[in-house]
Amino acid sequence: MTTLDSTTAAATPVLRQRVLVLYLDNSALDSRVIGWSRYDGTGRSSPTAGDSDEPPYETGVAALLDGWRLIQASQLIPPYPGGEYDVSFLKHEFVFEQLVDIGAAHGAPAATG
Amino acid sequence: MTETEAEPETAATTANGEPRGTLLSSVQMARFVARGALRLDAVVPDGMNAEALGVLADGMEHVPYGTPLSQAYREGSFVQRLLELPQVAGALRSLVGPEPAVDHHAVHIREPHGGEAQPLHADSIIDVRPDAFDVQLMYYPQEVTLEMGGTLSVPGSHLRRTNETDTGRYQNLRGQDRLVCPAGTVVFLHHGLWHGGRRNDSETVRYMYKIRFAPRVRQRLLWDTTDLHDPRVNSELDVQFPWYEQAAGRLERYNRVLLWRELTGDSTFDLTHPWVTRVTNRPTATAPGSAPVRSEEDAA
């Protein structure tokens, strides 16, 4: 029978997800950020409605450059017949994630993704 | 009072004896149509603001849905005096007309370091009336600092077709308004405006009093229209907000033009860029010299 020694256990990452949602000016990922939301699976921060006036990134690509991984982008869906001039939800939503090792022994949690 | 006994109209009252107040101008109305909000800073005197803290802490009597304004509040009561302030009365009359109905009212209290931010929402349920709107009066008796978590609102969001808290995923939008205001400020919101109470991170209890009003007359030219053709009407209606996608921002103008047409009765109104006129241009006249168009029935 084998057991994990303490060195192996300490090296096992404990991953949690941070989510960033960016709303962009058009369907291009390098267009301007017009809205943003954050959710923190590490529990170390509690972002909420109306907590900042400045976006974390100027464009979607800027988030990629900072290590965020894109996991979902809005589809481009034609307007419903008769509703071509209606305004409703923001159309260009991009969802990003970072995986954070909350088991890191020292300092700030390490983003892995 | 019968019609034959009507009081003479004065500067302070209408022929029906109602307070006229300080009516909004056309430029202010256009600003409301574009932004979905009208803010009146420090229009309530300090003495009334001090009185309000006690009145709001004690709670308000229930007002049944649909009660005409003149029957909703007791003579001399705090709320009646609030609504008779010239700028408040004039704005209310300009937006929803004389003797609107009270939909409901409520006192909102945010305890120090208490509660969570509300998800961004529009009140009630999705409401896409093209030719009428309710307004919500919000009264802030105290100075509201950023830490006190004043109401978050999103300028120009009122014409979006969304239902209640379905917008809760949106935490922050460029150009959002995190209310910071002096004591005695009154804000009127279009019923569809996205908004939400923010978290109170201060040491102070925050009070806000809200009344929703519904019109009982057609909302057409209810304000001071002497500046109806002021060029600033056009520029107010043409404003772009930082959170609009470029494409949707054009549709926002389209929808504002439709609302302005309803409010003025001018079915030809459009902006410098004729967003509505262009896409409704379907001529029926026949070009000179061209053959008459034959329908399939004629050909059969």
Q: Residue B257 region, left (φ>0) first, then alpha (ψ -120 to 50), else beta? A: alpha
Strand order in B195-196's β-sheet? B177-178, B152-153, B195-196
Instruction: List B224's β-bridge partners, or say none.
Output: B25
Q: What is the pLDDT of residue A96?
A: 98
CA distance A23 to chain B (A): 9
Contact B160 A91 (CB under 8 A): no
Which of B161, B245, B254, B277 has the highest number of chain A CBs within 10 A, making it the mutation to test binding with A?
Answer: B245
Determine the residue type at B77.
S
Q: Do B119 and A89 touch (CB under 8 A)?
A: no
What's the average model confidence in pLDDT over B102-113? Answer: 94
Average confidence (pLDDT) over B199-222: 96
Task: Number of A to B CB contacts under 8 A, please give it.
Answer: 93
The pLDDT confidence band at residue B213, using thresholds 50, 70 and 90, is very high
Distance (Å, rounded) from C-alpha A42 to C-alpha A71? 18
Query: Two tokens at A83?
Result: 């509703």
Contacts of B161 in chain A (CB under 8 A): 86-88
Q: What is the pLDDT of residue B7?
A: 43
When pLDDT is cut at 50, 70 and 90, the band that residue B4 belongs to is very low
Facing B172 at nearest CB: one of A26, A36, A86: A36
Q: pLDDT by residue (tens digit) across B219-270? A: 999 999 999 999 999 999 999 999 999 999 999 999 999 999 999 999 999 9
Q: Give chain B positions within 8 Å (CB) of A25.
A: 245-246
Alpha-carbon B220 to chain mean position: 14
Which pLDDT band holds residue B11 (cuts at 50, 70, 90)?
very low
pLDDT at B12 over 50: no
The answer to whether B153 and B176 are in contact (CB under 8 A) is yes
Q: How much of chain B exceeds pLDDT 70, in percent?
A: 90
The helix or strand, by DSSP H or E, that contains position B296, with its residue range, turns out to be helix B296-299
User: Which domains are assigned to chain B?
Assistant: 13-214 (2.60.120.620)
Looking at the complex, does the CB of residue B102 fall below 8 Å from at least one CB of chain A?
Answer: no
Q: Give the pTM.
A: 0.90
Pull the structure tokens for residue B86. 């010239």
Q: Environment class of residue B11 by beta-carbon count within 10 Å: exposed (0-12), middle (13-18) or buried (19+)?
A: exposed
Q: Which residues contact A80 (CB under 8 A, 6 or more apart)?
A: none
For residue B263, give Cα distances in angstroms to B67, B103, B131, B158, B229: 24, 22, 7, 16, 14
Which residue(s) pair with A39 in the sheet? A19
Can you say whether residue B156 is alpha, beta or left, with left for phi > 0 and alpha for psi between -120 and 50 degrees?
left
For chain A, say whether B278 makes contact (Cβ under 8 Å): no
CB contact under 8 A, A35 and B243: yes
What string of pLDDT tens digits covers the 113 residues of chain A? 455 555 555 678 999 999 999 999 999 999 999 999 999 999 999 999 999 999 999 999 999 999 999 999 999 999 999 999 999 999 999 999 999 999 865 455 566 55
Q: How far is B216 from chain A (nearest CA, A)?
A: 27
Answer yes or no: do A47 and B171 touch at CB < 8 A. yes
Residue with tokens 């890191």: A104
Inter-chain touch B171–A91, beta carbons under 8 Å: no
Q: Mean pLDDT across the stretch B167-191? A: 98
Say whether A49 and B167 touch across the interface (CB within 8 A): no
Closest to B171 (Cβ–Cβ): which among A34, A37, A86?
A37
> What confidence tens digit (pLDDT) does each residue in B30-58 have?
999 999 999 999 999 999 999 999 999 99
Of A21, A85, A87, the CB nearest to B169: A21
For chain B, where are the E strands, in sequence order?
37-40, 67-68, 101-110, 135-140, 152-153, 172-173, 177-178, 185-190, 195-196, 206-214
Of all residues in chain B, the one with the smallest CA distance to A49 is: B171
Q: Which residue in chain A has the smallest CA separation from B252?
A: A87
B177/A contact by beta carbon, under 8 A: no
Query: Which is higher by pLDDT, A80 or B18?
Result: A80
Closest CA to A55 of A35, A40, A84, A79: A35
Test A49 with B255 for CB contact under 8 angstroms.
Answer: no
Question: Does position B165 have pLDDT exceeding 90, yes or no?
Answer: yes
Confidence category of residue B116, pLDDT binned at 50, 70, 90: confident
**Phi and psi, residue B299, nearest 5°:** -75, -25
Measured between CB atoms, does B2 come within 8 Å of chain A? no
The predicted structure's pLDDT at residue B115:
73
Residue B205 DSSP symbol: -
Structure tokens, A61: 């690509």
Cα–Cα distance measured from residue B82 to residue B107, given in angstroms and rounded to the nearest whole number: 14
Grade residue B188 by pLDDT with cuts at 50, 70 and 90.
very high
Q: With 60 as the cut, is the pLDDT of residue B15 above it?
A: no
Inform me whether the pLDDT recorded for B300 exceeds 60.
no
Q: Is the CB of residue A60 less than 8 Å from the CB of residue A31? A: yes
A53 and B247: CB-CB below 8 Å? no
